[in-house]
Amino acid sequence: MENKYKYKIIFSDLDNTLLVDNHIPSFNLEAIKKAQEKGVKFVICTGRNFSIMNHLLKELNTENSENEYTICNSGAMIYENKNQKIIHCKQLDDETLKLLFEYGKSLKDILIIFDAFDGKQYVYNDALIDKEKWKDFKYTSIKSLDDLKNTKIIRLIFHNKNNKYLLNIKNELKNNKSLEERISYFISCNMFLEINAFGVCKGEALKWLSNYLNIDIKETIAIGDDFNDESMIECAGLGCCVKSGKEEIKRISKYICEKDYFEGGVKEVIEKFILN
């Protein structure tokens, strides 16, 4: 593929893209450092909260750094790493949150997770949590929305391990007229139905931050693997998918990695389009 543009910024998903065992492997870190030495920014673009990002930003050596940025909550929150400064935020309004919560309560075997503005997480129906597998998950249990008064909620998540069940719920949301043009939603990791305010997605965050930094969209690279990466891969100048990514994501990508995430797919993209 001929490079028509000099890429200035890379947006990368975390799970099954950049990370191996919840850390950035040395081969990716080395490639990222070389790209940064050429003046290319590297921005994590994740569904995770900023509150659990510190060890990864330390590995990148960009924690508490000026002019270094992180996109969290699948695009709802954008931070400058210095002092964890929020430079862009889009939250769920109270009426939408109420509609979603009442709907979620009517569903069978659904764990409802609330991501708050301050990085804390709240849970309804916590009896459904697998305490062994989620032993590091820190949350506060709630009984009703009254427990969240004066709490800004950025995102709501429906969790169930049955992907077909979540797909059915997603289709119900699509046909719910009361929620039309109120929410954006997608399934991630086959077991989370993430729901954000209308218009929130990684692609919109990529565009917002690129504009904020005066970088042309044609000069951006996005790397991912799953449905929550779809929008950023579509709108980036160069959208890339790692080898094991969803087939639907591969079809919209301009470049499909020969290597998988644990083999250095991110390194491959950097070497081919930045360092080569």
Q: What is the pTM of this model?
A: 0.92
Please, is 152 exposed, middle or buried when counting C-beta atoms within 10 Å of its C-beta (0-12, 13-18, 19+)? Answer: middle
CB 193 within 8 A of CB 226: no
Q: Cα dist. 41→239, 270, 275 in Å?
A: 16, 11, 13
How many angstroms separate the CA atoms of 189 and 166, rounded? 11
The reported pLDDT for the residue numbered 2 is 45
Domain 9-89+201-275 has CATH 3.40.50.410: no
Taking the C-alpha atoms of residue 244 and residue 265, their distance in angstroms, rounded to an integer, is 10
Look at the chain and count its residues.
276
Amino acid at 2: E
Cα–Cα distance, 238 to 5 (Å, whole number): 10
Partners of 44 in the beta sheet?
12, 70
Give the residue among 239, 231, 225, 141 at the shortest CA–CA distance from 190: 225
CA–CA distance, 274 with 230 (Å, rounded to integer): 22
Domain boundaries, the chain: 9-89+201-275, 94-197
- For residue 248, the Cα-to-chain-centroid distance in whole angstroms is 17
CB proximity list for 55: less than 8 A, separation 6 or greater: 23
Which amino acid belongs to residue 186?
Answer: F
* Yes or no: domain 94-197 corresponds to CATH 3.30.1240.10: yes
Query: Block means of pLDDT (10 residues each) for the chain, length 276 residues?
Result: 73 97 97 97 95 94 96 96 96 96 96 93 93 85 95 96 96 94 92 96 98 98 96 97 97 98 98 95
Instruction: Indicate the residue type of 76.
Output: A
Residue 4 confidence (pLDDT): 54
- The residue behind tokens 């870190």 is 29
